[in-house]
Amino acid sequence: MNKKKITNEDLKAMRQSITILYGVFKKTFYDILKKSSPKEVFLLEGRPSLDSAKVSLRELLKRKITPTIISDNMAGFLFYKGMVKEVYLAYQEADRKGAVCDCGALILAILSKDHNIPVKCFASERKTKFLGTTKDIVYFNGIKVAPKGVPAYVPLIEWVSKNYIAEIN
Amino acid sequence: MEKIKESPLFWPVKYKAGVMEVLNETLIPHKMHYVKVRSTKAAVGVIREMKTRAFGQFLVVLYTFLLELRKIKGVRAKDFKAQQKVLARIKEVASSLNKSRPTFPFSEVTGIVVRWAIMAIDAGLDIKSFVNQNIEGYLESIRIKRLERVGKIAELISDGDSILTHCNVSGELAMAASICKKQKKDVHFFVTETRPYFQGAKLTCWEMKKMGAEVTLVADNAIATLMADKTVNKVIVGSDRSCANGDFANKIGTYQIAVVAKYFNVPFYVLTQPSDKIRTGKDIPIEIRKQDELLKYQGKKVFRGRVNAFYPGFDVVPHHLITRPVPIRVTENE
């Protein structure tokens, strides 16, 4: 594991250089990404399964790209600081009106629209259910985090309108 | 004022006779345990390790001065040298506390205490008792103002509201929820889990339940769906630091909630402590925490392989995204 801590100075050097990936893409996508030689690749965790980060991490490491993981609530910080260059979303279904992506994609789409950052969609490797269960987010990494008896609402997919998307591949 | 049932997170630090007891928020919801703190070093420790945060940090700062002043024996008001020694000690304590974490305005709080100490010397008063009395009076004013604000939050909430909140608002929102319940308002709260420390899942869900509120946990990535589907109609969050132009800093994740709320026309309210010490949000120093705090959970690895992580502790929210701040103003002379 690379233990180098990103400092505030590093952030300045990363201006408009970060490529954000969200979702579980088909393997061919990672080859396309590799060819584009991205400077910095950031992965969102993708709660509750964390597959967005885990699968992309594995595929990127195979292609000798060391990504940086952030929690799903940290993307806004990167946009605010002007660090984001482009956003890639994995879609499960798409038509001319938009795409069905993993829950969380709409936040990235709106942030991108707000900061004039292009959003590009590529096909997902998987299809998920519409909703998860309380158990999916009450536990993290096998450890219970929320108190007993608290229900959860766990949407797993969401609709991203074409208005937010620069290209669907 | 009608007596309001208090959440344990409303005043998470107690002080009695030279010992501070700090509610260890990292153990909630599994255990309610207070850490005993007897020195500045230990106080800085509980802040850095995030055993307490937000308003708890503020209390730790002021109580640290009380416990350090108590260690100083027999200083006469007319003994200039001894008074200067006390001032030097107060400045030393302030300096240690200021270095504990970068985003919360520690120096603004410690600066008030230093000014009281200087005022006492200038007026020929006993520095120790003057500072003690001022700290105690200041804390009492803040308690009253915060209780008043709980009432204002309850007024902001209407029957049928469905409210999204993020991280934890140090007891005030949960107490407002309790008032709303008494007033027979039908209100539901959606709480983000707030990775990587899960303050939403652990603290807010716990205290909301304790206060009898209807609460549902959501992942941090579900906030746009909640707003797009009109499942929530208001956002209420706290803040760690405010700027002269109205920008504020709060737990990481708050900025994207504010942006999405603006897109979906969902009113966004923030509880603030106004300050003009810092001009705009761009000037707020943002703490970057250790990557292991994201890559591991309770010592267990979450991600395997050669990977970096990035964990900014706070976001800045520009004032134009705020529908209305809900401020408390307490001057140091109250």
* Nearest in space to B245 (alpha carbons), one of B209, B283, B211: B283
What percent of chain B has a predicted confidence (pLDDT) above 90? 90
- Contact state of B219 with A47 under an 8 Å Cβ cutoff: yes
**Are residues B314 and B171 part of one domain?**
yes
Instruction: Output the domain CATH number for residue B220.
Output: 3.40.50.10470
Q: Catalytic residue at B159?
A: no
**Are residues B138 and B18 part of one domain?**
yes
The closest CB to that of A155, out of B29, B222, B253, belongs to B222
- Residue of B240, B276, B283, B292 marked active site: B240
Cα A101 to Cα A123: distance, rounded to the nearest angstrom: 9
pLDDT of B1 > 70? The answer is no
Q: What global pTM score does this model have?
A: 0.94
Residue B195, domain extent: 151-327
Residue A107, domain extent: 14-128+158-168
- Contact state of A42 with B310 under an 8 Å Cβ cutoff: yes
pLDDT tens-digit readout, B32-65: 999 999 999 999 999 999 999 999 999 999 999 9
pLDDT tens-digit readout, B285-296: 999 999 999 999
Question: In this predicted structure, what is the pLDDT of residue A1?
Answer: 43
**Are residues B81 and B66 part of one domain?**
yes
Q: Compute CA B214 distance to the chain's CA centroid, rounded to the nearest angstrom.
A: 23
> Which residue from A minimizes the CA distance to B195?
A71
Cβ(B287)–Cβ(B297) below 8 Å: no
Q: Is the ipTM of this complex over 0.95?
A: yes
- Using the 3D structure, point to which of B144, B168, B183 is the last residue of a domain: B144
The closest CB to that of A106, out of B225, B285, B307, belongs to B225
In a domain, B62, yes or no: yes
pLDDT tens-digit readout, A108-157: 999 999 999 999 999 999 998 999 999 999 999 999 999 999 999 999 99
Please state the domain count of chain B.
2
**Are residues B167 and B68 part of one domain?**
no
Please list every residue in chain A whose beta carbon sits closer than 8 Å to the beta carbon of residue B166.
Answer: 73
In a domain, B237, yes or no: yes
B322 touches chain A (CB under 8 A): no
- Mean pLDDT for the stretch of residues B210-237: 98
- Using the 3D structure, point to which of B123, B144, B165 is the last residue of a domain: B144
In a domain, B334, yes or no: no
* Nearest in space to B121 (alpha carbons), one of B94, B145, B97, B89: B89
**Residue B76 distance to chain A (closest CA, Å):** 47
> Which residue from B minimizes the CA distance to A104?
B221
In a domain, B6, yes or no: no
Please state the domain count of chain A.
1
Instruction: Output the domain CATH number for residue A26.
Output: 3.40.50.10470
**Are residues B217 and B111 part of one domain?**
no
- Using the 3D structure, point to which of B144, B168, B201 is the last residue of a domain: B144
DSSP strand pairing (B19-23 vs B34-37): antiparallel
The closest CB to that of A7, out of B195, B288, B306, belongs to B288
Average pLDDT for chain B = 95
Instruction: Output the domain CATH number for residue B97.
Output: 1.20.120.420
Residue A37 neighbours by CB distance under 10 Å: 7
